[in-house]
């Protein structure tokens, strides 16, 4: 197993059904930079005959119907949304077309910036060559119908992710022991009595990691850790250290509510070339959201302050609107605009409303 994936082997039963998580595992491996939460642009589908599972890297252009209504009321963000919405509609139609013509389709990668569509098909190379021309023809018809021209369509063999690929016997043994420990932890950690958000075992790093909601009492946390120690002793792994992280649920809920808003701001600013924004990152280490807007503005530019003010104004126009209120509520926030060297050009903030 890839070491980075092994380190991140956590269970999130409260977030994914077995059916969906299995399809995600088959089709997509996602790595996220947790330093600041960055935005990524590519959209992936994993497909089956019965359903289409949409896998979005953080920040991809996915908007709920209610958010679409919000965006339609803004001059710049509205036009940006319509562009993104069109891409999503084309991707959806491409996926539906694939399911109608090819029962073995397993993946669809739509890259609209580089004008490239990649289709993954289950089967051997002979089968791929047999169905390739029909797939390319039908997808080009969809793209042409929507005036999406000049696209390169690639059809490739789908290779599912395999836990057993190139693992040594020792790695297989460790993996089996980790799975056994996880199985024995489930009766306690997943019952309603405790608010355990996620947990994982890594024998290689000699640790058990566990995320616990800050609503848990100290006594409950002691019970959880005691149970874990008993399971580790039973499986001859007393050397593993228990690393618990207490999750501030208010902060997590804050980030959840702001997700769509931050995606819009990030993708919208980066595509508005006259604003010179290269990246938008965010953090919520406190009880507020902080957006870091990184730009290509030169520190010697005499108009740098005015450029920073325009960026802040564009963001605040959206955040402060009545329509966006259900998402941002009365949350305090801070905007930090930086030049190309990381020097702060402007800060703007909103404190708690009275």
pLDDT tens-digit map of 320-341: 876 677 888 889 999 999 999 9
Residues in the chain: 354
**For 72-91, how does the pLDDT look when each residue is reduced to its tens digit (9 = 90+)?**
555 565 556 556 667 878 88
Q: Is the pLDDT of residue 11 over 50?
A: no
Give the confidence band of 258 by pLDDT, cuts at 50, 70, 90: confident
The distance between the two most distant Cα atoms of the chain, rounded to a whole number of Å, is 68
Which ranges in the chain are annotated with CATH 3.30.300?
169-246, 251-350
Percent of the chain predicted with pLDDT > 90:
39
Domain 169-246 has CATH 3.30.300: yes
Contact 209, 243 (CB under 8 A): yes
Is the pTM higher than 0.75? The answer reads no
What architecture does CATH give domain 251-350? 2-Layer Sandwich (3.30)
Give the confidence band of 164 by pLDDT, cuts at 50, 70, 90: low
């Amino acid at each position: 197993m890839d070491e980075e994936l092994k380190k991140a082997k956590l269970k999130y039963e409260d977030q994914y059904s077995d059916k969906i998580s299995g399809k995600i595992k088959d089709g997509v491996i996602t790595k996220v930079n947790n330093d600041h939460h960055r935005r990524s642009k590519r959209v992936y589908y994993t497909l089956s005959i019965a359903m289409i599972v949409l896998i979005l890297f953080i920040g991809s252009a996915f908007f709920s119907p209610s958010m679409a209504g919000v965006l339609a009321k803004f001059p710049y963000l509205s036009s940006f949304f319509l562009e993104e919405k069109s891409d999503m509609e084309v991707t959806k139609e491409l996926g539906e077309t694939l399911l109608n013509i090819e029962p073995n389709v397993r993946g669809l990668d739509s890259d609209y910036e580089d004008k490239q569509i990649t289709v993954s098909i289950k089967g051997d190379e002979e089968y791929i060559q047999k169905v390739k021309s029909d797939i390319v023809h039908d997808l080009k018809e969809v793209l042409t119908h929507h005036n999406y021209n000049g696209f390169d369509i690639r059809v490739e063999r789908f290779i599912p992710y395999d836990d057993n690929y190139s693992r040594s016997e020792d790695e297989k043994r460790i993996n089996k022991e980790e799975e056994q420990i996880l199985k024995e932890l489930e009766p306690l950690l997943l019952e309603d009595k405790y608010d355990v958000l996620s947990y994982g075992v890594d024998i290689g790093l000699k640790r058990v990691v566990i995320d616990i909601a800050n609503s848990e009492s100290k006594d409950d946390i002691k019970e959880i850790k005691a149970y874990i120690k008993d399971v580790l002793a039973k499986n001859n792994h007393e050397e593993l250290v228990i690393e618990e992280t207490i999750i501030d649920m208010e902060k997590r809920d804050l980030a959840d509510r702001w997700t769509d808003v931050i995606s819009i701001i990030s993708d919208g600013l980066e595509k508005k070339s006259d604003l010179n924004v290269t990246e938008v990152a965010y953090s919520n280490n406190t009880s507020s959201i902080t957006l870091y807007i990184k730009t290509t503005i030169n520190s010697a530019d005499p108009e740098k302050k005015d450029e920073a003010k325009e960026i802040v104004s564009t963001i605040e126009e959206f955040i402060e609107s009545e329509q966006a209120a259900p998402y941002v509520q009365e949350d305090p926030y801070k905007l930090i605009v930086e030049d190309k060297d990381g020097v702060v050009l402007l800060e703007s903030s909103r404190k708690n409303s009275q």
